[in-house]
Amino acid sequence: MADDLTKLAPTLESIGWDADLDAWVAEQKADSHGRIARSSRGFCLVFTGGDAILAASSSVRSSSDMAPSTGDFVAVVDDPEDGPVVSAIAPRRTALTRRAPGKVPEPQVLAANVDDVFVMHGLDRPLNLNRLERQLVLAWASGATPVILLTKADEVNHSEEAVESISAIAPGVVTLATSTVSGRNIDRVRTYFTKARTVALLGLSGIGKSTLVNELSGGEVQRIGEVRATDNRGRHTTVTRDLVPLPGGGIVIDTPGIREIGLWQALDGLHKTFPEIAEAAEACRFADCQHGKEPGCGVTQARVEGRTTDRRLIHWNELHAELDLQNEQLDEFDRRVESRSRASAERKRDGERPRKVNKGKKKGKRR
């Protein structure tokens, strides 16, 4: 299969379109509708049930404060000048969202309307538990269900130990050691791709995301790059977020490898990733407990009793502080916007106010 999504023509039903979306699009006065298969630089490829179409897209044209993203269900209108344009985005059931890189706090949706998130880590490199926990926070916060895939299990002899280590920090999350070379656990991976179910892939470059897509699709849908021998990192051969319908049913969304995983309003995801700490914090004597040396701290007691570890507690505090700072930045941003809006309204009001003329004095001539 070629590395070109435009050659795919899945039915709307196979990519998740249902009766609720029929009712939604009936209100949109659209010329066509479908699901975004690829979104990049102001344009997106939309699967419509027939030929895929390339449509212009932006949050302004879609009459929404949301920018269209891969996985969105959308309405499309034919503009006389611009051609097909995304005119509306259906309400999202879930959204895999990170904080966009940069100083301004704003979200970036990596994939919309996903059911599961495969958090992927290559066994050809040291386990990074902190990174896995951060990815799990992102996945849980999306509203989808995380699954951890440890790839390249055929290259190491410690895969079982790795699964045990990760299971200890991801209670209740399925963890699988996989290999596309030996086929290990690939059949179990396939069980997640049932009719119209969508799975998003999350992980660094070079860990085998695109290789897994090709394995599941039975052909080379995505280009695969070499991995640098020095650090086992990939070369970012996947540069767009692509929605790929699989021949056996189900949908996978491949994403470029991302190194910067800023959290976005993910407190619920934090609690689900660190359930033992979140539960212990409920027992703290003081509501504003910093989980340090405060008396009656439930979290400190959990650490003493071995219900959590120092590393987990330190990381929890770091991630919590990151989210607290984000909330402060958003509050400050809202205050500035409100202040500018108020100042603009006052200038407009003053400009419309009739000027008073002092009839007791004559205006002098200009010289």
Position 12 scores a pLDDT of 95
- As a residue count, the chain comes to 367
Position 194 scores a pLDDT of 92
Position 309 scores a pLDDT of 93
Classify burial at 367, counting beta carbons within 10 Å of its beta carbon; exposed 0-12, middle 13-18, buried 19 or more: exposed
pTM score of the predicted model: 0.85
- Which CATH architecture fits 274-317? Orthogonal Bundle (1.10)
CA distance 303 to 284: 13
Question: What is 118-173 written as a DSSP string?
Answer: EEEEETTS---HHHHHHHHHHHHHTTSEEEEEEE-GGG-S-HHHHHHHHHHHSTT-
> What kind and span of H or E run contains 326?
helix 310-352
> What letter would DSSP give residue 262?
B
Task: Find out whether 16 and 40 touch, Cβ atoms under 8 Å.
Answer: no
Task: Find out whether 202 and 135 touch, Cβ atoms under 8 Å.
Answer: yes
Domain coordinates in residue numbering, the chain: 5-89, 95-254, 274-317
CATH classification code of 5-89: 2.40.50.140
- The answer to whether 95-254 and 274-317 have equal CATH topology is no
Position 341 scores a pLDDT of 79
> Which pLDDT tens digits describe the chain residue by residue (367 residues)?
335 777 888 999 999 999 999 999 999 989 999 999 998 878 899 999 988 999 998 654 444 567 899 999 999 999 998 899 999 999 999 999 999 888 888 899 999 999 999 999 999 999 999 999 999 999 999 999 999 999 999 999 989 999 999 998 998 999 999 999 999 999 999 999 998 999 999 999 888 888 899 899 886 555 444 443 444 444 434 457 899 999 889 999 988 767 779 999 999 999 999 999 999 999 998 888 888 788 899 998 999 999 999 999 999 999 999 999 999 999 888 888 788 877 777 777 776 555 555 555 554 444 4
Q: Which of 168, 41, 28 is nearest to 55 (CA)?
A: 41
95-254 is a CATH 3.40.50.300 domain: yes
Position 115 scores a pLDDT of 98
Position 356 scores a pLDDT of 54
